[in-house]
Chain A
């Protein structure tokens, strides 16, 4: 059976009741892995509380940070500070310079672009080439497709169609996530996969973007963050304690 992941549940982390409600809803809808974005300086206690909630419900949980740097220097500083604190690092690219730097940096997992300002979507062939070399993924949030109406939705669909085809051609992994802020905007993985048909992504790719791509990414990052990791393919098998 496929394991589905939603790597962007925008839960107000201070409200534990709402968090619990949305996490149990995700489990009910058939997800087995969820990721919640935290502020950069989050207390470990809060993360542990949410981990406990997920464990009780039977869901795998990954920590995520959304970096919004103003320039490429700030991006590098943020990556240096926070890469080892979170399992997933996403970068919101507000300028082309940030987008290019984020795409070629191997520490960046996810590239995010604005859904309201179409001039700030910089995912073109060059960006895709950089991203495919650095194993960064393109994130497509699906809740804006539900919320936007008329021309803004038409515009978003046409841009997503272009970006999805570029990503498929350049073999950049696409990650489909909800970006849901409340439980009413949450949908099951099969429903999201059907929504992807609106921008001409094949159903098989949609399922890959909802299950395989996010799971592989989280698995890879967990391995890198483990204390036994040395380099890709090399890990410490055992430690000898010397007196």
Chain B
């Protein structure tokens, strides 16, 4: 039996002077992973955009757990997006969306 791939959910906070769309953030992360780890790396990362949480302005992404550190490094290395200065911080990482929500709530409280 083939083992199911383990995933990690990342909550990201984007700091920028101008508002930025989900698509822009996702493509910036994708481009950064390709730049650092190539097409093989991005295929292993299995990167997906999950949702945007409006209350705290955070983006939730999903990736493969084997590529977590690499995806995190790629996210850290982003300093500009379409000529705008941006900083992307990884706020939380969890194995499930439920766990991620729990962590977010405990952080707020």
Q: Are A190 and B87 CB-contacts (below 8 A) given A145-B77, A147-B79?
A: no
Residue of B nearest to A29 (CB): B89
Contact check, A184 vs B90: say whether CB atoms are below 8 A apart.
no
Measured between beta carbons, the chain B residues less than 8 angstroms from A188 are 89-90
Binds A, one of B23-31, B46-54, B65-73: B65-73
One of A145, A191, A197 near B89 (C-beta < 8 A): A191
* CB under 8 Å from chain A, chain B span 17-52: 36
Residue count of chain B within 8 Å CB distance of chain A: 15
Contact check, A192 vs B76: say whether CB atoms are below 8 A apart.
yes
Question: Beyond A190-B72, A197-B69: 15 further Cβ-contacts under 8 Å?
Answer: A184-B15, A185-B87, A188-B89, A191-B75, A192-B76, A194-B69, A194-B70, A194-B72, A194-B76, A195-B76, A197-B70, A197-B73, A198-B36, A198-B73, A203-B69
The contact size tier of chain A is: 10 to 19
Measured between beta carbons, the chain B residues less than 8 angstroms from A145 are 77
Q: Are A191 and B69 CB-contacts (below 8 A) given A146-B77, A184-B85?
A: no
Cα–Cα distance between A145 and B32 once the two chains are bound (Å) = 13
Q: A102-134 CB contact bits vs B (8 Å, 1 = yes)? A: 000000000000000000000000000000000
Cα–Cα distance between A66 and B75 once the two chains are bound (Å) = 30
One of A146, A147, A184, A203 near B76 (C-beta < 8 A): A146
Contact check, B90 vs A190: say whether CB atoms are below 8 A apart.
yes
Is A187 interfacial (CB-CB < 8 Å)? yes
Measured between beta carbons, the chain B residues less than 8 angstroms from A185 are 79, 87
Contact check, B79 vs A187: say whether CB atoms are below 8 A apart.
no
Measured between beta carbons, the chain B residues less than 8 angstroms from A147 are 79
Residue of A nearest to B68 (CB): A194
Query: Lowest 5 CB-CB distances: which A-B pairs, in order?
Result: A194-B72, A191-B76, A194-B73, A194-B69, A197-B69
One of A29, A146, A186, A191 near B72 (C-beta < 8 A): A191
Contact check, A146 vs B69: say whether CB atoms are below 8 A apart.
no
Measured between beta carbons, the chain A residues less than 8 angstroms from B69 are 194, 197, 203
Measured between beta carbons, the chain A residues less than 8 angstroms from B75 are 191
Measured between beta carbons, the chain A residues less than 8 angstroms from B77 are 145-146, 195
CB distance from B59 to the nearest CB of A (A): 15
Cα–Cα distance between A203 and B70 once the two chains are bound (Å) = 12
* CB under 8 Å from chain A, chain B span 48-106: 69-70, 72-73, 75-77, 79, 85-87, 89-90
CB distance from B76 to the nearest CB of A (A): 4
One of A191, A197, A203 near B90 (C-beta < 8 A): A191
Cα–Cα distance between A185 and B88 once the two chains are bound (Å) = 10
